[in-house]
Amino acid sequence: MLKDTQKGKVIVLVAPSGAGKTSLSQRLVKHFPTISFSVSATTRQPRSYEKKGVDYYFISQEQFQEGIDTDQFLEWEEFYGGTRYGTPISEVEKNYNSGYITLLDIEVHGALNVKNIYGDDCLSVFIKPPSLEVLKERLEKRGTENEHSLKLRLERAKHELELEQKFDKVIVNDDFDQAYKELEQLVNQFIHTHS
């Protein structure tokens, strides 16, 4: 389990699927050498452009269940009709205990759980699309979803948007560069604040 030596920090970025969070987090990791990205485990199939162990650890339902049974996840959630996603404790613990910063790109409930665990050592940021219509257009343009999964993702986005006020900060991703600038400033401030 996690040790109680509060040295490192954790940043959680949350956004409805297609709100631009992945691009923002990749740019953040490039800019800040002390931030490392937490790779989640998932039972969903890899997309054509995704790399195993880089974007996700793609594992079976059985492997995921074993991870739950042996307490290997900091948090995990199941959505989109049975797909599971989880943050392996190992992705965060080593960084945290040695004073580094871990960036998590996860969904809203997992993020709120992580915020609960780390308190002031965690910055939680909600990345918001300008509207649900824009989100739908972005997802259609990305071309990774069929009609059914697009519908599920939009329904989930509606639910996630209802929880935005529970986050430390909300950034609207209307213009990518502007949203990134805001995020970079926020992160800069956070990593230089001693809690």
Measured between alpha carbons, how far apart are the two ends of the chain, in Å? 22
Identity of the residue, 33 or 163, whose beta carbon is nearer to ligand 5GP in the bound complex = 163
Identity of the residue, 106 or 161, whose beta carbon is nearer to ligand 5GP in the bound complex = 106
Examine residue 87 and tell whether it contacts ligand 5GP (CB under 6 A).
yes
Binding segment (CB under 6 A) for ligand 5GP, from list 60-68, 101-109, 135-143, 167-175: 101-109
Binding segment (CB under 6 A) for ligand 5GP, from list 25-33, 105-113, 131-139, 183-191: 105-113
What distance in Å separates the CA atoms of residue 43 and residue 63, rounded to the nearest whole number? 9
- Judged by CB under 6 A, the residue of 85, 96, 126, 190 near ligand 5GP is 85
Binding segment (CB under 6 A) for ligand 5GP, from list 92-100, 102-110, 170-178, 180-188: 102-110
Identity of the residue, 39 or 187, whose beta carbon is nearer to ligand 5GP in the bound complex = 39
Examine residue 43 and tell whether it contacts ligand 5GP (CB under 6 A).
no
Number of residues that bind ligand 5GP (CB under 6 A): 12
What is the binding site for ligand 5GP (CB under 6 A)?
17, 40, 44, 75, 77, 85-87, 105-107, 110
